[in-house]
Amino acid sequence: MSLIVQKFGGSSVADAEGIKRVARRIVDTHKAGHKVVVVVSAMGDTTDDLIDLASSITEEPSAREMDILLSAGERISMAVLAMAVTDLGVPARAFTGQQAGLHTDTAYGAASIVGVVPERIARTIQDGEIAIIAGFQGVNQENDVTTLGRGGSDTTAVAFAAALRADVCEIYSDVDGVFTADPRVAPAAQKIPALTYEETLEMAAHGTKILHLRAVEYARRYDVPLHVRSSFSTKEGTWIVNESARSRWEGDNEAPIISGISHDTSQAKITITGVPDKPGAAARIFQVVADSGSSIDMIVQNVPVNAPGMANISFTLPITDVKRTFRVLEEKREELGFDKVFQNDGVGILSLIGTGMRSHPGVTAKFFAALANAGINIDMISTSEIRISAVLDADDVATAVRVVHQAFDLDAEEEAIVYGGTGR
Amino acid sequence: MSLIVQKFGGSSVADAEGIKRVARRIVDTHKAGHKVVVVVSAMGDTTDDLIDLASSITEEPSAREMDILLSAGERISMAVLAMAVTDLGVPARAFTGQQAGLHTDTAYGAASIVGVVPERIARTIQDGEIAIIAGFQGVNQENDVTTLGRGGSDTTAVAFAAALRADVCEIYSDVDGVFTADPRVAPAAQKIPALTYEETLEMAAHGTKILHLRAVEYARRYDVPLHVRSSFSTKEGTWIVNESARSRWEGDNEAPIISGISHDTSQAKITITGVPDKPGAAARIFQVVADSGSSIDMIVQNVPVNAPGMANISFTLPITDVKRTFRVLEEKREELGFDKVFQNDGVGILSLIGTGMRSHPGVTAKFFAALANAGINIDMISTSEIRISAVLDADDVATAVRVVHQAFDLDAEEEAIVYGGTGR
């Protein structure tokens, strides 16, 4: 008998039919002899509808009340899901974040978990019942509701899996698992059987919509095995585990060099020319960028041969931040002492991720060759121990994904089936 | 400076516009120098929508989960109302029943209040802020959400008014107050300036849609002055107070003989003939009726002159119960030893209510005369100290309301303005 935490996203419980389907899945797991704890997101567009309601009332909703408001969505879904499970003959109880014992700090809208005291949940499953927990929400020291922000329901599931020492935390959505590339871009993409936490973090940080970084980090810290799978089928999905557990999937072979390819076309690039090439100049620029609220990803600095003593700096940032950051830099141009600033919102980032590249020299060379053969120019490049990322012209990204996918032997024999997006 | 509890029903906060209107009313009260505590129902049809959702999932939703589900409606309305008030420049905080300190027993769906510990609410208004409380919900000893059942938000408002020793509990809806008769039936009906708790209880129990009996009983027990008024106007509504406070409205005059006329066409009548006229026979019949789940209102028993030793018993009951109760009685006919049972769902009940009738003999005579002049037959009659009720043919009820209204000099000079129904 295992203890399994199952998390269902909003798209899996979008309507009564979806709730009943999820309930059958829960009951099947229970009947297979497992203890089951469920974490559920708000139904379909409920959260967006509540945000729209608040927007129709005021431009600046108070953060505390916004969290109470949004938490209503999960209360609805958890209650009806518990009803649906009970209707199938297995008693189920629904619990809010507060009742389940998810304690957070007071950062409304983006609260951090400070502790999980799953006493009622443990008692419920001990009694042979199924515990259904509202995702995305907790309670702070003032007894006020908080929400965890983006990826909050995934993080809730992982937090309870850790606190209850669950055997696995299953993350259900409407896709079959994590693919070697986005199947909408690379039809030959195939499902990855297993990934390490580190690979998953790199993929999630570079455009692959799997799980929120935060949930993966939490799972890595507490070594919670994750299983990302579809609520529409019983097929195995993608396991996300530590490196030694991952080796079980490798059998007699080595790990593949590249586990997957991520791409991200939601990035833009800012280039600053004529930066004084002396200590502190770049630091001052990035302080201004940080103060403007932008989070930047890749940075490249070089000193043109024709202008010694002056550096050029390029960096990528979310496309939604580029206008604001560009304006702030323009305003502070004299103070910062650089020459010119340029913006380019037509860039994309392609990333190859795989722990296997550590032991395989020549990955970069193969990557360059594949792109060069397809006539694609690389603008910037950055690497980590298990990742190579390249900034390309946005129009080239789809082709680049396909040619690199093929070059690293990731192509499947059949085309992948694509469903919709993922839930919260 | 007064402490005012204001309760707004679902129809007052049906949409963003309604919420903003209610917020202005709250802020106006605050700016007039009062401390304000608000109790709010779910927006418009939210509760019905949630019930429909549960029905689409299961025929028998578990009671605990149903209460969590329904409580989501008030969480939404309280949060957005707090946002709307804050948006007008007066800080407001929203509180669930649990946060506000409304403790109940565990009777899900119809919980009773066991205590109110309004510590956070008291602190909030002490700080010059407005406290907005979710109506209809509380928390039990297990830390589970309960709902108070019908009239729950009114009762919540009265309970906090009592616990905080408020000067008044204002109950807002979309009607101007309590009328001498239903203005849709008697266009000459006029608003009643003040009623005693007892009169209000009699009117509410006999078909006038004012407040739920339970809220009025709570107010009577703790002597909380109620003010039933419209959220669409600033006119005085109807005050509901104890008898000595009511005398303030009477000025130099005596209280009116009749304060108002209630009517109820949701009742049916069952008549049982040939009941053995001996001790215990009627008791056994009413035990069977009670076991069938029916609550009965008026009872008349008589012994026909042509059949001594055999009694006839008639009683009224909600029209929704009549089929079931009739069937149960039919089944137990031999066991109970009566002759025949008849049902009539075409009856209506007309009630005259007023503390003034205590000191005015001849009320019954005047009542009979008014109906006789209009050619209306009385089927059954029952009285209390401050009420006369008559069972009539349902088709006669509207005419009866008008002629009795006129006979007791209740007609206004102008016709009343009628809005819609009342909120939860």
Q: What is the predicted pLDDT for the residue at A305?
A: 76
Q: Report whether pLDDT(B342) > 70.
A: yes
Taking an 8 Å cut-off on Cβ atoms, the answer to whether A69 and B84 are in contact is: no
HSE-CB of B132 using CA atoms within 13 angstroms? 31
Contact A312, A299 (CB under 8 A): no
**Does B184 or A278 have the greater pLDDT score?**
B184
Taking an 8 Å cut-off on Cβ atoms, the answer to whether A57 and B82 are in contact is: no
- A19 interaction partners in chain B (CB closer than 8 Å): 57
Over residues B382-407, the pLDDT tens digits come to: 888 899 999 999 999 999 999 999 99
User: pLDDT grade, residue B424 (50/70/90)?
Assistant: very low
Work out the minimum CA distance from B24 to partner chain A, whole angstroms.
Answer: 12
User: pLDDT grade, residue B254 (50/70/90)?
Assistant: low
Q: What is the predicted pLDDT for the residue at B294?
A: 84
Q: How far apart are CA A63 and CA A56, in angstroms?
A: 16
Q: What is the predicted pLDDT for the residue at B102?
A: 98
Q: What is the predicted pLDDT for the residue at B422?
A: 41
Taking an 8 Å cut-off on Cβ atoms, the answer to whether A19 and B57 are in contact is: yes
Taking an 8 Å cut-off on Cβ atoms, the answer to whether B83 and A56 are in contact is: no
Residue A283 near chain B (CB below 8 Å): no
Q: How far apart are CA A325 and CA A330, in angstroms?
A: 9
Q: What is the predicted pLDDT for the residue at B418?
A: 56
Q: What is the predicted pLDDT for the residue at B423?
A: 38
Highest mean pLDDT among A278-292, A318-332, B252-266, B302-316: A318-332
Q: Report whether pLDDT(A424) > 90.
A: no
* Closest chain A residue by Cα to residue B143: A99
- For the four alpha carbons of B407, B410, B412 and B417, in that order, the dihedral sign comes to negative
Q: What is the predicted pLDDT for the residue at A422?
A: 41
Interface predicted TM-score (ipTM) of this complex, two decimals = 0.81
Taking an 8 Å cut-off on Cβ atoms, the answer to whether A68 and B143 are in contact is: no
Percentage above 90 pLDDT, chain B: 74
Mutate to test the interface with A, among B22, B53, B78 (most CBs of A within 10 A): B53
Q: Which of A87, A93, A143 has its CB closest to that of B58?
A: A87
Q: What is the predicted pLDDT for the residue at B182?
A: 93
Percentage above 70 pLDDT, chain B: 96
Q: Which of A16, A61, A83 has its CB closest to that of B83?
A: A61
B146 Cβ contact list (under 8 Å, min separation 6): B67, B97, B104, B105, B106, B107, B108, B111, B137, B138, B139, B140
Highest mean pLDDT among A156-160, A179-183, B290-294: A156-160
Q: How far apart are CA A381 and CA A163, in angstroms?
A: 40
* Closest chain A residue by Cα to residue B63: A83
Task: Say what the pTM is.
Answer: 0.85
Q: How far apart are CA B202 and CA B197, in angstroms?
A: 9
Q: Which of A57, A68, A76 has its CB closest to that of B20?
A: A57
| 3-state per-residue secondary structure call for B95-162 | ECHHHHCEEECCCCCCCCEEEECCHHHHHHHHCCCEEEEECCEEECCCCCEEECCCCHHHHHHHHHHH
User: Helix A363-373 crosses helix A397-407 at what angle (to 10 degrees)?
Assistant: 130
Taking an 8 Å cut-off on Cβ atoms, the answer to whether A19 and B76 are in contact is: no
Q: What is the predicted pLDDT for the residue at A423?
A: 38
Q: How far apart are CA B306 and CA A258, in angstroms?
A: 103
Mean pLDDT for the stretch of residues B118-133: 97
H/E run at residue B94: strand B92-95
Taking an 8 Å cut-off on Cβ atoms, the answer to whether B83 and A66 are in contact is: yes
Q: Report whether pLDDT(A420) > 60.
A: no
Mean pLDDT for the stretch of residues A348-354: 94
Q: Write the DSSP symbol of residue A256.
A: P
Q: Report whether pLDDT(B2) > 60.
A: yes
Residue A64 near chain B (CB below 8 Å): yes
- Cross-strand partners of A83: none
Over residues A12-57, the pLDDT tens digits come to: 999 999 999 999 999 999 999 999 999 999 999 999 999 999 999 9
Taking an 8 Å cut-off on Cβ atoms, the answer to whether A58 and B83 are in contact is: yes
Instruction: For residue B322, give both structure tokens.
Output: 């009549």
Q: How many CB pairs under 8 A join A and B?
A: 109
